[in-house]
Structures are given as C-alpha cells and as structure tokens.
Amino acid sequence: MPKPLDPEVEKRLLDAARKLLRRGDKNLSIRALAKAARTNTPGIYRRFRSRNDILRAILLRFQQELYQSISVAESLEAATERYIDFALHHREEYELWFAHRNTLLRASRRGPLSTSKETRPSFYWGQKNLAERLGGSPEEHAQLMLMIWSLFHGTAALLIGKVVPPELEEGVRSACRRTVGVLIANASVIEGQ
C-alpha cells in the first residue's frame, strides 16, 4: 500500500515554487524546485504531473488568497485598496495569473470571463456585495462588476508596471476608489434599470 502524501511537503513545494517565480517564470524548473524545497524530483512528480500543474496549484492558491484578502472588506470601495495592495505585494504571481490564467485553469471548462463562485471567487464576492447593496441577484450585477474589476485590475497593472510617477500613485488609487463609488451610485443607469 502506498504511503500517504504529506500535505506539509506540498505546502513546502508551493512555497518554494512561489519564491522561484519571484525571480522570473523561467526559474521554475522541476530540478530547481526539488533543490529549493529540499526534496527530489520523484517527490515532486508524486504530487504534480508537470510544471503546469505546479503553476496551476500556485495560481489557485493565489486566487484563494486574493479572495481572502478582499472578502473581509466592508464594501467594494474598501476592497479597492485591498485588491491593489495585494497585487503590489504579489507582483510576479499577479502578472502570471493574468498572463496564463486561461491556459493553466482550462480544467474548469468555464470560459475566460466566467463569474462562477468556484472559478472566480473574488469576482463573485463583488457581485454578491452589489446584490446586497442594490438588490437583485449577484448574476444581475455581472456587467457592473466587470466595470469595477476593470478599474481594480487596470489600476493595479499601472502601479505594478510603474507607469504612474510615484508622486501620482496615491491620486491614481484615490481615483479608482472614487470611481468605484460613482459606478455603484449610478448602477441603475449603468445596468439599464
């Protein structure tokens, strides 16, 4: 009977893989990961079939951590700061997420803009937040949430890419937060109600 897999080893592997990714996507090889996680390549292959499986596991963990970060916010306006801060503190994973998400998560079989609770928990949390504030079902607010998410992501991408001069960073963050409030305040016009 095979020995059960130790969940602590998987955590150690994913933590080491995240550190390797911080130095660039090309630095994550099975051999480098085995060395960084103090294990061997067969130990990795018992848990993950390929490098893409490792990336998928990292991105799923990233997605869950992003959700945990923003879901404690009392509003979408407050979630703005949490989202941007999370993206800035996890730059490499954030960029990897948006560069490779659809390729790595094809197993979900849900299209790139799926808004289901399982495939996009943070997005669905936003829809649910809007439904609680504005009435209706979360699904009725998908278009408004796409607008808000576009603001979140666009602002985070501008700051990650250092496109915004340092003296304007706080103004860009503030503009994003205020625009989210304006969108929500004008939801009936935006959603055509």
Q: How many CA atoms lie within 13 A of 56 on its CB side?
A: 15
CA dist 65 to 70, 80, 116, 160, Å?
A: 9, 15, 17, 18
pLDDT at 173: 96
Do 175 and 164 touch, CB atoms closer than 8 A? no
pLDDT at 102: 61
Distance from C-alpha of 151 to C-alpha of 183, rounded to nearest angstrom: 10
**H-type alpha helices, 37-141:** 41-45, 51-70, 76-89, 91-104, 121-134
pLDDT at 52: 85
**pLDDT tens for the chain, residues 1 to 193:** 555 567 788 888 999 998 888 787 777 889 999 999 888 899 899 889 988 888 888 888 888 999 999 999 999 999 999 999 999 999 888 887 777 666 655 544 444 444 456 668 999 999 999 999 999 999 999 999 999 999 999 999 999 999 999 999 999 999 999 999 999 999 988 877 5
Do 164 and 158 touch, CB atoms closer than 8 A? yes
pLDDT at 1: 52
Do 16 and 37 touch, CB atoms closer than 8 A? yes
pLDDT at 57: 87
User: ∠ CA(188), CA(191), CA(193), 5° rounding?
Assistant: 55
pLDDT at 142: 93
Distance from C-alpha of 13 to C-alpha of 28, rounded to nearest angstrom: 11
Q: Which DSSP string corresponds to 118-155?
A: TT-HHHHHHHHHHHHHH-S-GGGGHHHHHHHHHHHHHH
Residue 2, helix vs strand vs coil: coil
pLDDT at 113: 44
